[in-house]
A and B are shown apart, each in its own frame.
Chain A
Amino acid sequence: MALDQSFVGRSYPPTEPYEVGREKIREFAEAVGDANPAYTDTEAAKALGHPDVIAPPTFVFSITFKAAGQVVADPQLGLDYSRVVHGDQKFAYNRPVRAGDRLTVTSTIEKIRSMAGNEVLDIRGEVHDQAGEHVVTAWTKLVARPAEEG
């Protein structure tokens, strides 16, 4: 069943703050095998002009995707998550995420389309820090395949 177009433009309440920890950044950098010292060494990060260690560019996805769960799980929208795959992902950074950030995410449904039987859902996540400053915007395109004919 086609998703309800009237959900386009709907925003969900900001998430509770996620506190970015130094060791969580290290864990993520190690998991992707990235030895860039800006992720683990405060002095190296400061030498690059950052106040503390920064996170790899895609680190913030864990936070924005969890926030997008509000949309995905909205019973009124009726998305069947078991048929969803990740289509596109994009980030636009105002500054890198860094240790000590307390980040909130506001998710908005940007677009809903039907394409070749698939439902395509575009979600925008605006990420702000504890001072209310914009840090990064994440766009996530989810593609739901049609239910199999029973």
Chain B
Amino acid sequence: MKNISLGQYYPGNSAVHRADPRMKLIFSFLYIICSFLCSNILSFVLLLFSAVLLIFVSRIPMGLIMRSIKPILFILAFTVVINIFWTSGETVLFEWRFIHIYLEGVMNAIFIVLRIFVLIVGASLFLTYTTTPIALTDAIEQLFAPLKKIKIPVHEFAMMMTIALRFIPTLIDETDKIMSAQKARGADFTSGSLIKRAKALIPILIPLFVSSFRRADELATAMECRCYHGGEGRTRMSILHYRASDFVWLFIMIAFGASIIALNILSIGYSM
């Protein structure tokens, strides 16, 4: 259980780490849009360059980033195959019986792989690796605060997220303990048919649910003891402030978006 990485925050003190979480949330959104705007070689080069730069600035080890790419390798491979074999165009590169490979297909495949790669790198560098989950929920709460006007309980949702995130490690720990306890009684989770293995989970899931409910109950009581009564009139201990560096980030981001659009208009080389 120990090797499950949830909340992949990588402690550090880079410029990306220090940026305001609200900005980072917006940036990752903008970055994703930018990666979709790219349509020719030049803009893709810029996109790739920005991703490399981001990796460099955030000082996140390459190995960690590769680990976040791993789960989507299959999807990547799948899209490459689909694009190479099913895109038709003008320039034929290879032909054999029913297989036709066109230059357009190959280029599209390369672009899509690049786009997904950059997408993952951007989102994980701006958010998961450099922002603590708590800072992230704070940012979400403040960014969505205007929705309170139309009676959406933003604070309550954010509190639920915070609590859920806070208890993930506790639950993993608990699962670990219960698994050990049942293993000590001879339970076997690793062998047998699928149905047998699913059944073997019952001795883990039931105690886990029971203790989760108990813990939720205790937490609610503890929160009420400390006079928690929802978001109404509640002040914050750490208030987020935009700093000068955040506006520098914003400027870079806008400039980046503008250059991507400009490079797209130039339409040099192959474009999608």
Q: Are the chains A and B members of one assembly? A: no
B residues engaging A (CB < 8 A)?
none
A residues engaging B (CB < 8 A)?
none
